[in-house]
Amino acid sequence: MAGVWSGLGRSAFLAGLGEKDREPLRLIGALVGGLIVAVVAAVASWVLVMVVFTLISGQGAAGLAGMGRATQALVDPAQTGLTVTLARLGLTSLVDGGFLLVFAAFAAVVGREPLHRSVTAAPRVRWGLLFVGLGLATIALTPIIVAERVFGGETTLPLLAVSPSWGGRLLYGAASLLLIPAAAAEELVFRGWLLRRVAAFTPPPGILVVLTAILFAAAHFDFNPDAFLTRALMGAGFAYMTLRLGGIEFSSGVHAANNMLIVLFLEPLNLQAEHPALSAFSLLEDITLLVGYFLITEAVVHIPQLRRWAGVRRAELSPPDNGVMDPA
């Protein structure tokens, strides 16, 4: 295990980093300029979604006042209808995803680095690895979801409660697929661009993983201890996946599966953050989550059939498992 951990610093995903990646002006330009254009993209996405939702909700004739009332409906947790819930999914996915994607694209231009390099060390995006991540994460997270429902006293599945008709429920399930590109955009910035920028300063693997995990949690601006710890541990797990497997495809699938399972089986998306108390049960969940992330990552590394399905070559794995004796 020590060899695996130290090998993360020699991950194929970190190849090609050099002096230009440590230039202060280039980093500041990427951060400041990227944030400006990303905010513009986010505002445009928000306006688009809100115009559509305002029209659908019958508030279009009232102009800006109608859009204001539609916005209040979206942020009101008491509003739980299908239309409102779908709008929240669309708003979160498009606004957050648009913001992050535009930031990553701008930062790639400023850094004079192909955007592809923040996605994968492989010649092409390994879509199979993303779907393997979705599948394995669903298997690993299902016991946690069941335990949360049993011990949390939940009685109704969001998937069933969102609409009385199966058509509405199917629509809600289909809309949850928007969380896949949204999660991928988040991974592109935090495990793609950010991880490589921090790694350019050659910190030990432990510091690299922990620091980017803390930055990931802090970027959500939710400093409730339970939520912050959960996101930090998730960020550490996603960083491990990225370094171990040579790209963000697997962590994108796992991240998306986590979000989809929550909105389908635990609680519908809410624009107002809840603040649960830190407890022994939540700590046990966090530890189980992190262990599960490690196990499914190592399953891809060590099971040849999974590697073939995922399209992962040994050369893309971090040392000491990146030998060439097995081309799969």
C-beta atoms surrounding 121 within 10 Å: 22
Q: pLDDT band for position 59 (50/70/90)?
A: confident
Residue 295, pLDDT > 60, answer yes
Predicted local distance difference test score (pLDDT) of residue 218: 96
- Are the C-beta atoms of 173 and 89 separated by less than 8 Å? no
pLDDT tens profile 13-50: 999 998 989 999 999 999 999 999 999 999 999 999 99
Classify 63 in phi/psi space as left (phi over 0), alpha (psi -120 to 50) or beta: left
Instruction: Provide the percentage of residues in the chain whose pLDDT is more than 70.
Output: 95
Nearest to 253 by CA among 315, 311, 192, 179: 179
Residue 289, pLDDT > 80, answer yes
Predicted local distance difference test score (pLDDT) of residue 2: 64
Nearest to 177 by CA among 299, 82, 264, 76: 264
Q: pLDDT band for position 61 (50/70/90)?
A: confident
Q: pLDDT band for position 83 (50/70/90)?
A: very high
Q: pLDDT band for position 327 (50/70/90)?
A: very low
Residue 324, pLDDT > 60, answer no
- Are the C-beta atoms of 282 and 230 separated by less than 8 Å? yes
The owner of tokens 């009332």 is 69
Query: CA-CA distance, 143 to 285, in Å (whole number)?
Result: 10
Predicted local distance difference test score (pLDDT) of residue 202: 87
Which residues are registered as beta bridge partners of 247?
120
Q: Hey, is 148 helix, strand or coil? A: helix
- Are the C-beta atoms of 37 and 102 separated by less than 8 Å? yes
Mean pLDDT of the chain: 92
pLDDT tens profile 234-258: 999 999 999 999 999 999 999 999 9
Residue 150, pLDDT > 90, answer no
pLDDT tens profile 185-229: 999 999 999 999 999 998 899 999 999 999 999 999 999 999 999
**b/e per residue 24-59 (b: at least 16 CB within 10 A):** eebbebbeeebeeebeebbeebbeebbeebbeebeb
Instruction: Provide the percentage of residues in the chain whose pLDDT is more than 90.
Output: 79
Query: CA-CA distance, 328 to 324, in Å (whole number)?
Result: 9
Which residues are registered as beta bridge partners of 120?
247
Segment 165-191 shows an average pLDDT of 96
Residue 325, pLDDT > 60, answer no
HSE (side-chain half, CA atoms, 13 Å) at 39: 5
Predicted local distance difference test score (pLDDT) of residue 238: 98
Residue 267, pLDDT > 80, answer yes
The two structure tokens encoding residue 6: 């130290």
Q: pLDDT band for position 273 (50/70/90)?
A: low
Identify the sign of the CA torsion 235, 241, 247, 248.
Answer: negative
Residue 159, pLDDT > 60, answer yes
Segment 66-92 shows an average pLDDT of 90
Nearest to 187 by CA among 246, 138, 249: 249
pLDDT tens profile 90-142: 999 999 999 999 999 999 999 999 999 999 999 999 999 999 999 999 999 99
Please, where are the H alpha helices in 12-63?
Answer: 24-56
Predicted local distance difference test score (pLDDT) of residue 191: 97
